[in-house]
Structure 1
Amino acid sequence: MTKSKVALIVGVTSQDGSYLADLLLEKGYRVVGTIRRSTSTVQPNIEHLKGKIILEAADLTDQESLNRVMIKHQPDEVYNIAAQSVPADSWSHPFYTGEVTALGPVRVFEAVRHFCPNARVYQATSREILGGIEGVEHANEQTPIFANNPYGIAKAYAHMMIDCYRKSYDMFVCGGILFNHESPRRSLHFVTRKISMGVACIKLGIKNPPINEIGEPLIDNEGKLHLGDLSAVRDWGYAKEYVEAMWLMLQQPTPKDYVIGTNTSYSIKDACKAAFDHVGLNWEDHVISDSKLLRPTEIKAMMGDSS
């Protein structure tokens, strides 16, 4: 009988981590996922996985915790999905963003290098590494790095270290330059979930809406949904499909970096219109741009060319 492959997902409670766990279980893997000790015991994204995956306490800021997991489970594949993953929050927490999002992946690479050097590694990077570049409508793997916010810069460091470890230690490491990808498991820190939650609260007349990232109600007393730059443009895909791309990267004969996107783009206004139209409301009557939610710098409109 063939022994099941072991996959380690660093950041299994996230949108991507939980969908990836679903996929790998379907493919017959033994799945190990890491959670931080400080993480709440209530994890809605993985409630359905209880008893199906192995959970281990580990943190991207703690090298020893990562080492222990590698030694104990000897994974065949390692997927690092964890990060301080909210670009807007990276301005208020730049040191933490660097510690987790830039240096955290290097700690994963080091743990793999020392304790399971034959493992294949997927490292999540981001379209944010291309953030401020002018004149590029369709980004591919050759598009220059030009990050313009702390999150994107931290991801750019991690992305460059992927190539460093490939060349220096002959490790099988792939980077996924993923454009925005959404699902019902997306957290409320992200605009798509703010919009869907906002529409639901307004349509249903909910009086105690969730709190946004600046500590204010998502919907104000006048029934207005507060968002940032409504003209911002994004390439949005479906997270469940994107995690399959992550798995496919590690099944290739040689390690490479890949852009994953839809090659289409829409503005925040477009998303608001679609959501409010769905419940028979005019979005312009219910949405305002709040200066407190604007980024200090905005990324350029760009689509992900994954051809």
Structure 2
Amino acid sequence: MKTALITGITGQDGSYLAELLLEKGYRVFGLVRRSSTVTFERIDHIQDRLELVSGDLSDQNSLFYALEASQPDEVYNLAAQSFVQTSWTQPVLTGDVTGLGVTRMLEAIRIFDRERRIRFYQASSSEMFGKVQAVPQDEDTSFYPRSPYGVAKVYGHWATVNYRESYGMYAVSGILFNHESPRRGLEFVTRKVTDGAARISLGLSRELRLGNLDAQRDWGFAGDYVRAMHLMLQQDEPDDYVVATGETHTVQKLVELAFSAVGLDWREHVKLDERFMRPAEVDLLVGDPGKAKRKLGWEPEVNFESLVTMMVEADLERLRGNRRSAVSSAV
């Protein structure tokens, strides 16, 4: 039985990855921060099969403790301050957790694992490409980040490469393009749109305010992307991979599909709001997953239209459930 330690296990990717590893017979540990607010809803259904350890990427000693407690074969570093918009208002926190946090974990593994047995995965991001230098983007495309989040991710990416080349560690980065699901946080534009469409269709809201509708992204399903993470750590030699669909869509297309799924005309409900415009927008992000397909045998299984429909239906079900619960409580 292999053992894995996942940082960020309570997030979207962490929950899907934990499910995948449990299905494969892994013993799964999750690093969680001490908090007065319980945020385990994404892993509630599997929590009795997980082993949670306390720790934080900003606290080096807690990472040593987590490694000692879990004795992992594989470490998946998914934890980060991952909301791009927030990185503009909290750039120092983003740099500390999303950037330096990677180095803290790599250094903890380097010292703890003298035999170089542990395999390490770093969650890199397409936001590192920012002001893109080539279209589509692959593993050799230069980085030009356009947000504090992107800058921090570049730091973590190159730290991973440096530890691999300097210390002979099995350390890889997955340069993942946007990946979504019903478990995506409401602060992200995809979930904001699908939740907004569902609310309006149920009469819970009247309008949805958004920023740049012309922004284009390469969106895939998070459940597909965690399969690529696992495959990266099963190869003979460590390497970095772009994980993407190779297709791009505008925010407006996302909006059209979401509102169409509930039988509404988006133009009657969506309002543009300057508050949601970024100080610096990225250009056309579209990934070339050719290397992942060739070397890992990875292919995305859920297309964009199916993904948006899945998310809208999940939000409708959640909101209807909330309404039924409210009615029952009132009675």
TM-score range, shorter chain: over 0.9
Q: Which residue of 2 aligns with 1:27?
A: 24
* 2:10–2:39 CA contact under 8 A, matched in 1: no
Q: Which residue of 1 aligns with 2:55?
A: 58
- Map 1:173-192 onto structure 2 (within 5 A): 173-192=171-190
Q: Which residue of 2 aligns with 1:247?
A: 230
Matched, 1:299 2:251: no
* 2:132–2:285 CA contact under 8 A, matched in 1: no
Matched, 1:71 2:68: yes
Whichever residue aligns with residue 122 of structure 2, its letter is Q
Other structure's SS at 2:48 match = coil
Aligned-pair identity in percent equals 49
Matched, 1:286 2:269: yes
| Separation (CA, whole Å) in 2 of partners of 1:49 and 1:145 | 37
| Separation (CA, whole Å) in 1 of partners of 2:67 and 2:79 | 16
Matched, 1:256 2:239: yes
* 2:119–2:170 CA contact under 8 A, matched in 1: yes
| Separation (CA, whole Å) in 1 of partners of 2:253 and 2:212 | 12
Say how many residue pairs are matched.
288
Q: Which residue of 2 aligns with 1:16?
A: 13
Deviation of 1:137 after TM superposition, in Å, equals 1.9
Whichever residue aligns with residue 10 of structure 1, its letter is T
Deviation of 1:133 after TM superposition, in Å, equals 2.2
Structure with higher helix content: 2
Whichever residue aligns with residue 92 of structure 1, its letter is T
Deviation of 1:51 after TM superposition, in Å, equals 1.2
Whichever residue aligns with residue 240 of structure 2, its letter is D
- Map 1:142-221 onto structure 2 (within 5 A): 142-206=140-204
- CA deviation digits over 1:161-180, x for unaligned, max 9? 11100111100001010000
Q: Which residue of 2 aligns with 1:106?
A: 103
* 1:74–1:115 CA contact under 8 A, matched in 2: no
**Higher mean C-alpha deviation, range 244-253 or range 41-50:** 41-50
| Separation (CA, whole Å) in 2 of partners of 1:39 and 1:60 | 18
| Separation (CA, whole Å) in 2 of partners of 1:37 and 1:25 | 24
- Map 1:78-117 onto structure 2 (within 5 A): 78-116=75-113, 117=116
Q: Which residue of 1 aligns with 2:119?
A: 120
Deviation of 1:40 after TM superposition, in Å, equals 2.3
Q: Which residue of 1 aligns with 2:303?
A: none
Q: Which residue of 1 aligns with 2:323?
A: none
| Separation (CA, whole Å) in 2 of partners of 1:147 and 1:110 | 25
| Separation (CA, whole Å) in 1 of partners of 2:212 and 2:202 | 25
Other structure's SS at 1:184 match = coil
| Separation (CA, whole Å) in 2 of partners of 1:113 and 1:83 | 20
For structure 1, list consecutive stretches of 5 or more residues without a partner in the other structure: 208-222
Deviation of 1:39 after TM superposition, in Å, equals 6.1
For structure 2, list consecutive stretches of 5 or more residues without a partner in the other structure: 291-331
| Consecutive aligned runs of 4 or more in structure 1 exceeding 4 Å deviation | none
* 1:127–1:177 CA contact under 8 A, matched in 2: yes
Deviation of 1:42 after TM superposition, in Å, equals 4.0
| Separation (CA, whole Å) in 1 of partners of 2:108 and 2:18 | 21
| Separation (CA, whole Å) in 1 of partners of 2:285 and 2:97 | 26
Deviation of 1:74 after TM superposition, in Å, equals 1.3
Whichever residue aligns with residue 281 of structure 2, its letter is E
| Separation (CA, whole Å) in 2 of partners of 1:285 and 1:301 | 27
Whichever residue aligns with residue 235 of structure 2, its letter is Q
Other structure's SS at 1:61 match = coil
| Separation (CA, whole Å) in 2 of partners of 1:242 and 1:299 | 22
Deviation of 1:44 after TM superposition, in Å, equals 1.1
- CA deviation digits over 1:169-202, x for unaligned, max 9? 1000010100000001100111110001101111
| Separation (CA, whole Å) in 2 of partners of 1:231 and 1:44 | 33
* 1:276–1:282 CA contact under 8 A, matched in 2: yes
